[in-house]
Amino acid sequence: MTLRLRTVDAFTDRPFTGNPAGVIRLDDRAELPPESWYRAVAGELNLSETAFLERWDGADYRLPAAIGHQPEYLGVTPSGYLLAVIDGDSEVRRLRPDLATIKQQVGHGVIVSAVAAESSGADIVSRFFAPALAVPEDPVTGAAHTVLLPYWSQRLGRTELTAAQVSPRGGRLALRLVGDRVLITGRAVTVLDARLLSVPSGRLAS
């Protein structure tokens, strides 16, 4: 078996300038080589950088089986969440994920999202599963929407969206992209109004 090797001059639009790097694709290999092979190849090329590319389709997370649906897009956020975009509002609502598999293989958590149905009154829908963080499913997740808005803003061509997190409890958020910041607003309802009698000083509240 042979592997294709390229020398790429990065950060330039002219050959023989910029930063030279070796690039080797490992897409068609059944097994990855040992670390010593990578080091030997890099040493032989004697370039400032040598990159070994492996095709990634989410198989390492067996994610389609874990969430019960094949994503049309799968990405990893800087904070370590997986973002899985699937086709259909109703599919997101009907998900019955394998939380044990997600806990074992995904780590931080999985955001599953889709374009909302017109009848929902929202632009996008989502759910968030993070069993490894002791959160099987979060009712409404602000952090997830800091990822969702930039993604959907680019796809839908809008900087303001209404989001519905369709967990069993459910919730709605208004999202606005301002520069590199995501502004999140929403409504709140008081359901309990009580008095706490234990205070740090040990005195009873009057």
Which residues are identified as catalytic? 49
Residue type, 39: R
Measured CA to CA, the distance from residue 95 to residue 136 in angstroms comes to 13
Tell me which residue has tokens 């492996």. 54
Quick check: 60 and 70 in contact, CB under 8 A?
A: no
Per-residue DSSP letter, 135: B
Q: Which two tokens stand for residue 21?
A: 């790097």
Q: Which two tokens stand for residue 162?
A: 């209404």
**Backbone φ, ψ for residue 60 (5° rounding):** -60, -20
